[in-house]
Amino acid sequence: MLQQLINSLSIGSIYALIALGYTMVYGIIKLINFAHGDVYMVGAYLGYASMSILKLGFFESLIIAMVGCTILGVVIEKVAYRPLRNSTRIAALITAIGVSLLIEYTMMFFVGADPRAYPAMPGFMQGSMNLGGVIIKNQQLVIIGVAVALMLLLQFIVKKTKMGKAMRAVSQDPDAAQLMGINVDRTISFTFAIGSALAGAAGVLVGVYYNSINPLMGIIPGLKAFVAAVFGGIGIIPGALIGGYVIGGAETLVSSLGFSLFKDGVVFAILILILIIKPAGLLGKNVKEKV
């Protein structure tokens, strides 16, 4: 059980990082950004290029991937979503799916469709510890440590900074926030930037963890992270964290029982159950709309 707990914390940390981007964007502009999983894929390739071509270390590659995905997220918001901000939700949703496909096949055009193996990690990440029969790999500790550090940094930004206060104000009432002097467009762009940076970091971490990347790798993890966001209460940051670790734990448990072929199905079954039992999510509240 302790071994599976370590494994679930590793994969759950990655899902939580991706889920944070979903939940932040939805909390600000009520958009489900289905292109978010592909931003995570781009982050994995940026990390791969930094390590294999530029011969940089893990942490330098992680920073480059986060910066690159930050720029990509801001460009997507300005080019694809901002012109449709006052359109119907279905128009924005279809656009998000279109952006997702565009990123996937543009990447496939440049790098090809074949999977690529991640470069060998530095010596300190290849070791492991044996604690009473529980094998803890150093790379798992690095993944969990980086993910927790980024989550704490996000919490600090949202709760303690001026931009974080603006994000919370815009999520409550964009019109009132604008009347109070908050630049709504800049706040939304900042939200996309932060969410995309976290997705880029998750891409590098998953490349290190599974040692394989491909242009379509963002589809299933992106959907699982969306399930995690819905499970915790989409639009609620702590809920995304809880959802990420629950989904990671469920997937690891199913695989450890010998049903690895069904792990994806179990995740989506959790989505169906949570929508039936508590549609607002674990930490969400049912809000009645006045007619």
pLDDT at 290 over 70: no
Say what the pLDDT of residue 285 is. 66
Say what the pLDDT of residue 42 is. 96
- Kindly compute the dihedral angle of the four CA atoms of residues 63, 59, 201, 237, in this order, to the nearest 10 degrees: -90
pLDDT at 271 over 80: yes
- From the list 40, 45, 42, the residue with the least C-alpha distance to 14 is 40
C-alpha to C-alpha distance for 24 and 18, rounded to whole angstroms: 10
Scored b (16 or more CB within 10 A) or e, 62-85 reads bbbbbebbbebbbebbeebbeebe
Tokens standing for residue 257: 């029982």
Per-residue pLDDT reduced to its tens digit, 59-97: 999 999 999 999 999 999 999 999 988 888 889 889 999
SS (H, E, C) 199-230: HHHHHHHHHHHHCCECCCCCHHHHHHHHHHHH
C-alpha to C-alpha distance for 93 and 99, rounded to whole angstroms: 10
More reliable by pLDDT, 3 or 244:
244
Tokens standing for residue 288: 């009645």
Phi/psi of residue 116, nearest 5 degrees: -125, 140
Mean pLDDT calculated for residue range 243-253: 90
Tokens standing for residue 93: 């949703």
Tokens standing for residue 116: 């690529």
Q: Which residues contact 151 (CB under 8 A, 6 or more apart)?
A: 16, 17, 20, 241
* % the chain with pLDDT above 70: 96
pLDDT at 291 over 50: no
More reliable by pLDDT, 40 or 137:
40
Which residue type does 224 have?
A: K
Question: What are 131's strand-pairing partners?
Answer: 134
pLDDT at 288 over 70: no
Say what the pLDDT of residue 163 is. 93
Per-residue pLDDT reduced to its tens digit, 98-138: 999 999 999 999 999 899 998 877 666 777 777 777 777 88
pLDDT at 2 over 90: no
Locate the domains of the chain by residue range. Answer: 20-216
The mean of the pLDDT values for the chain is: 88
Say what the pLDDT of residue 140 is. 85
Specify the pTM. 0.90
Would you report the helix, strand and coil content of the chain in percent, each value rounded to 5?
A: 75, 5, 20
